[in-house]
């Protein structure tokens, strides 16, 4: 996957649809990123923090029992083992290091379930940056423990009371805040979305997933997989692992939540600084996403994914809530890994398609984007309700 050029376009998607007040900050960020990413000292520091602090490389685990059950050869890239429990930390460490390099002292971020918020608060604590996290009021209630976690890490959590009071509105609010403090504050976006350079920058900062995995598959004697499968909210974990395999023969599969399926149900539109696929009504009003997993509860998708779907390099499928809990149970039981509900969407797709879309005997690499600890209380309630 290549750089999107000065305007940040991926085919007909991407760009930089921001108020003029933010334009200088986006331009500054773009050049700071280009400069830093080309500076071996910076990338070495980024990799050092990821190794020493965040626990990279994460392993690739052969899922032997599930493979035998499904008749495929299944591997998992274990982002659940990264510090704070998901891939989100990779991006956040890159962006906080960049924040310091730009001489800014403060970071703001949006969060849905709280994973990106916790990751951001974590990196800020580690680097001594001030941190404010915007979170929809409904999400602060649903995810009260993550709010507390962020506070323990020294972050200020601001409940967003506008609109649907969930992730989409948290992004709006973070943008509004950013306008007032671009001078000394970096907006640490949590996925491959938003205005250029974010989709590109976040993908680059997540590409370590794919690069590690490519090498690790080789070390396992498994070489190039036939399928690389990841769940897609904004699309950062998918973009990260796809990066390693875009130039291979692997089929790249993104799995959206049916209730937040921007590729499946969306159409081109402009939101949060980007042109991409969005779920919207007939008048262009953005629809609220709904998913059992807060991390996929977003009505859009990163612009590069819209482009990959457009040109057919990646395929996107949707999984409904009903299949998700079962997939979480199967992975837990068969392999001793309780995945995040987000990740469970990708698992569900594999379970469903093994022997169908995925021919028997195929080699499949799952991006295990996060651990399910944050979700077990919710899963317990759901399973109880089913009894």
| Site for ligand PLP, rule CB under 6 A | 86, 112-113, 115-116, 191, 231-238, 295-296, 340, 342-343, 369-370
Q: Choosing among other proteins, a second copy, ligand PLP, none, which partner's interface includes residue 370 (Cβ < 5 to 8 Å by kind)?
A: ligand PLP
Q: How far is the CB of 67 from ligand PLP (least distance, A)?
A: 22
Q: Choosing among ligand PLP, a second copy, other proteins, none, which partner's interface includes residue 61 (Cβ < 5 to 8 Å by kind)?
A: a second copy
Angle at 295 between CA 292 and CA 296, to 5 degrees: 65
Q: How far is the CB of 308 from other proteins (least distance, A)?
A: 21
With CB under 8 A as the contact rule, the residue among 141, 148, 176, 223 that binds a second copy is 148
CB proximity list for 22: less than 8 A, separation 6 or greater: 175, 178, 179, 182, 195, 273
Question: Applying CB under 8 A, does 55 fall inside the site for a second copy?
Answer: yes
Which 312-331 residues touch a second copy, going by CB under 8 A?
328-329
Question: Applying CB under 8 A, does 259 fall inside the site for other proteins?
Answer: no
Q: How far is the CB of 32 from ligand PLP (least distance, A)?
A: 22
Pick 61 or 237: Cβ nearer ligand PLP: 237
Q: Strand, coil or helix: what is 151?
A: helix
Q: Choosing among a second copy, other proteins, ligand PLP, none, which partner's interface includes residue 43 (Cβ < 5 to 8 Å by kind)?
A: none
Pick 1 or 324: Cβ nearer a second copy: 324
By the 8 A CB rule, do 317 and 255 touch?
Answer: yes
By the 8 A CB rule, do 335 and 313 touch?
Answer: no
Q: Where are the alpha helices (DSSP H) in the chain?
A: 23-37, 40-52, 64-70, 88-101, 115-127, 137-142, 144-152, 167-181, 198-219, 236-245, 262-265, 303-311, 321-335, 341-353, 376-386
- Could you tell me how many residues make up the chain? 387
Question: Applying CB under 8 A, does 284 fall inside the site for other proteins?
Answer: yes
Question: Applying CB under 8 A, does 223 fall inside the site for a second copy?
Answer: no
Which 361-380 residues touch a second copy, going by CB under 8 A?
373-374, 376-377, 379-380
How many Å apart are CA 250 and CA 240, to the nearest integer?
15
Q: How far is the CB of 12 from ligand PLP (least distance, A)?
A: 21
Pick 136 or 372: Cβ nearer other proteins: 136
Site string (332-351) toward a second copy, x via CB under 8 A: xxxxxxx-------------
Which 7-66 residues touch other proteins, going by CB under 8 A?
7, 15-25
Instruction: Give how far the C-alpha of residue 12 lies from the chain's centroid of Cα atoms, to the nearest Å.
Output: 22
Q: Is 172 left (phi over 0), alpha (psi -120 to 50) or beta?
A: alpha
Instruction: Give how far the C-alpha of residue 51 lies from the chain's centroid of Cα atoms, to the nearest Å.
Output: 20
Q: Which residues are catalytic?
A: 88, 110, 369
Pick 238 or 350: Cβ nearer ligand PLP: 238
| Strands ordered across the beta sheet of 251-257 | 60-62, 73-78, 363-368, 227-232, 251-257, 314-319
Quote the crossing angle between the two packed helices 23-37 and 88-101, to the nearest 10°.
100
Instruction: Give how far the C-alpha of residue 87 lies from the chain's centroid of Cα atoms, to the nearest Å.
Output: 7
- As given in the structure block, the two tokens for residue 135 are 């979170």
How many Å apart are CA 329 and CA 177, to the nearest integer?
40
Which 150-179 residues touch other proteins, going by CB under 8 A?
162-163, 168-169, 172, 175-176, 179
User: What residue ranges bind a second copy (CB under 8 A)?
Assistant: 51-53, 55, 58-62, 65, 78, 80-83, 85, 121-126, 128, 145, 148-149, 152-154, 328-329, 332-338, 373-374, 376-377, 379-380
User: What residue ranges bind other proteins (CB under 8 A)?
Assistant: 7, 15-25, 162-163, 168-169, 172, 175-176, 179-182, 267-273, 275, 278, 280, 283-286
């Amino acid at each position: 996957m290549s750089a999107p050029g000065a305007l940040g376009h991926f085919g007909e998607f991407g760009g930089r649809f921001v108020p003029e007040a933010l334009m200088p900050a986006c331009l500054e960020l773009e050049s700071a990123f280009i400069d830093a990413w080309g500076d071996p000292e910076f990338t070495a520091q980024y990799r050092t923090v990821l190794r020493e602090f965040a626990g990279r490389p994460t392993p690739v685990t052969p899922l032997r029992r599930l493979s035998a059950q499904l008749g495929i050869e299944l591997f998992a890239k274990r982002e659940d083992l990264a510090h704070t429990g998901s891939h989100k930390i990779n991006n956040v460490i890159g962006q906080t290091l960049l924040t310091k390099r730009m001489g800014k002292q403060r970071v703001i971020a949006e969060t849905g379930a709280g994973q990106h918020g916790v990751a951001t608060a974590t990196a800020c604590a580690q680097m001594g940056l001030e941190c404010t996290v915007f979170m929809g009021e409904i999400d602060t209630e649903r995810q009260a423990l993550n709010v507390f976690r962020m506070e323990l890490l020294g972050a200020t959590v601001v409940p967003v009371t506008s609109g649907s009071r969930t992730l989409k509105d948290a992004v709006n609010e973070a943008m509004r805040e950013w306008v007032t403090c671009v001078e000394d504050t970096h907006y640490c976006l949590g996925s491959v979305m938003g205005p250029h350079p974010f989709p590109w920058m976040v993908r680059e900062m997540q590409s370590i997933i794919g690069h590690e995995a490519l090498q690790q598959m080789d070390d396992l004697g498994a070489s190039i997989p036939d399928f690389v499968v990841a769940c897609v909210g904004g699309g950062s974990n998918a973009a990260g692992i796809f990066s390693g395999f875009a130039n291979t023969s692997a089929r790249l599969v993104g799995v959206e939540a049916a209730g937040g399926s921007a590729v499946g149900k969306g159409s081109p539109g402009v939101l949060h600084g980007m042109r991409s696929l969005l779920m919207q009504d007939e008048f262009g009003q953005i629809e609220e996403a709904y998913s059992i997993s807060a991390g996929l509860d977003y009505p859009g998708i990163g612009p590069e994914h819209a482009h990959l779907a457009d040109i057919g390099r990646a395929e996107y499928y949707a999984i409904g809530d009903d299949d998700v809990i079962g997939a979480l149970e199967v992975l837990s039981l068969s392999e001793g890994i309780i995945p995040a509900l987000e990740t469970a969407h990708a698992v569900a797709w594999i379970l469903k398609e093994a022997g169908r879309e995925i021919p028997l005997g195929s080699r499949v690499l799952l991006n295990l984007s996060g651990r399910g600890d944050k979700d077990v209380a919710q899963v317990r309630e759901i399973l109880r309700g089913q009894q």
